[in-house]
């Protein structure tokens, strides 16, 4: 394996043009490249891999921020306020989404064009709704790759939004530098996040809508500080912080970004950022391997023929799950 990875893929002439277009920061090329990356067609996947390999040397420079919160917490209001603040400071901001529920409901987050109205008209911003990819793994895979395309197109801040459902927070936390939990100032909501263990993932907890009831927001802040005090830190050099802000008035948004920058500097200075990204890359490789193995297993002819019968036997208790798994996996040793 002396060959650099990117030479393993041949780039077609049209795709070379696409790569050049992305690097030249042309919006149409960017959108086209992401559409290619999101495609589930086998031939597109091979081309997408080649395009990504060509773009890879131009990625990695952005600050990657994950923002999670229940519907109504104020994610889109906050991201719009933050995005406009960042653009005013000379940044270019890409906003992507991981929303496994969008495949069922037809677009729960970011699907609505009226969201982030001001931000979406700015040429320094790029907003992409959640791809419809089936499983969370599929959606997340595409979002992660879209993030790399955005970085190659010169976006120096990438925000990945996700809703507080199931595994999506863990998945997003695994692809960003800083993970932010957006909360409402009411105790029930706070306890939910603490109970579900999501708070443990957070580098920053933001209590939004502080304008409505500043006292309640302060109270929620203290509750989180107490909860975080009992939890381990997200890194050796960073202790999670709790902030209050108002996405609607913009109060606290600048302080929020200052905190993200402080987090970034802390992780960079200690070497943790590079380490974290390397770990994420290897984890990601294994996620993809697991997904592909599972895919091949399910599509294997022998498995397909035997699966229902074996599943029924497990349900009926006439075979142990371990023996069933063993028997089904044995099919992979058959000659095709």
Site residues (CB under 6 A) for ligand GDP? 69, 71-77, 208-209, 211-212, 246-248
Name the token pair of 306: 């035997």
Q: Smallest gap, in angstroms, from Cβ of residue 69 to ligand GDP?
A: 5
Closer to ligand GDP at the Cβ: 51 or 247?
247
Residue found under tokens 């050049």: 20
Q: Smallest gap, in angstroms, from Cβ of residue 221 to ligand GDP?
A: 14
Beta-bridge partners for 159: 65, 95
Q: Smallest gap, in angstroms, from Cβ of residue 163 to ligand GDP?
A: 8
Burial class (CB in 10 A: 0-12, 13-18, 19+), 120: middle
Phi-psi region of 116 (alpha: psi -120 to 50; beta: other; left: phi over 0): left
Name the token pair of 323: 């023996």
Burial class (CB in 10 A: 0-12, 13-18, 19+), 109: buried
Q: Smallest gap, in angstroms, from Cβ of residue 232 to ligand GDP?
A: 28
Name the token pair of 190: 């706070």
Rounded to an integer, what distance in angstroms lies between the CA atom of residue 336 and that of residue 140? 31
Closer to ligand GDP at the Cβ: 143 or 246?
246
Closer to ligand GDP at the Cβ: 212 or 274?
212
Measured from each CB, the residue nearest to ligand GDP is 74
Q: Smallest gap, in angstroms, from Cβ of residue 22 to ligand GDP?
A: 28
Closer to ligand GDP at the Cβ: 132 or 244?
244
Contact 151, 59 (CB under 8 A): yes
Closer to ligand GDP at the Cβ: 16 or 113?
113
Q: Smallest gap, in angstroms, from Cβ of residue 71 to ligand GDP?
A: 4
Closer to ligand GDP at the Cβ: 75 or 300?
75
Report which of 38, 41, 65 is spatially closest to residue 52, judged by C-alpha positions: 38
Phi, psi of 292, rounded to the nearest 5 degrees: -70, -40
């Amino acid at each position: 394996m002396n060959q650099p990875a990117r030479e393993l893929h041949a780039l077609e002439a049209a795709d070379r043009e696409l790569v050049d277009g992305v690097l030249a920061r042309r919006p149409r090329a960017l959108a086209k490249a992401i559409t290619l990356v999101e495609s589930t067609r086998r031939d597109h996947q091979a081309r997408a891999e080649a395009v990504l390999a060509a773009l890879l040397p131009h990625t990695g420079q952005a600050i990657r921020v994950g923002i999670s919160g229940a519907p109504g917490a104020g994610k889109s209001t906050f991201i719009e306020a933050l995005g406009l603040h960042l653009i005013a400071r000379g940044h270019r901001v890409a906003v992507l989404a991981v929303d496994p529920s969008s495949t069922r409901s037809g677009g729960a987050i970011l699907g609505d064009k009226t969201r982030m109205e001001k931000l979406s008209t700015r040429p320094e911003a790029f907003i992409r709704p959640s791809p419809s990819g089936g499983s969370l793994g599929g959606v997340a895979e595409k979002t992660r790759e879209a993030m790399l395309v955005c970085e190659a197109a010169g976006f120096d801040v990438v925000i990945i939004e996700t809703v507080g459902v199931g595994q999506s927070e863990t998945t997003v936390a695994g692809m960003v530098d800083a993970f932010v939990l957006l909360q409402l100032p009411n105790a029930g909501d706070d306890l939910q996040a603490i109970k579900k263990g999501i708070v443990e993932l957070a580098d920053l907890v933001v209590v939004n809508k502080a304008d409505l009831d500043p006292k309640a927001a302060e109270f929620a802040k203290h509750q989180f500080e107490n909860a975080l005090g009992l939890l381990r830190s997200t890194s050796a050099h960073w202790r999670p912080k709790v902030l209050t802000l108002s996405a609607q008035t913009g109060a606290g948004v600048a302080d929020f970004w200052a905190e993200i920058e402080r987090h970034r500097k802390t992780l960079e200075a200690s070497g943790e950022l590079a380490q974290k990204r390397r770990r994420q890359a290897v984890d990601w490789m294994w996620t993809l391997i697991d997904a592909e193995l599972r895919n091949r297993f399910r599509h294997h002819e022998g498995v397909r023929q035997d699966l229902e019968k074996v599943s029924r036997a497990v349900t009926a208790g006439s075979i142990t799950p371990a023996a069933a798994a063993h028997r089904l996996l044995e099919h992979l040793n058959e000659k095709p």
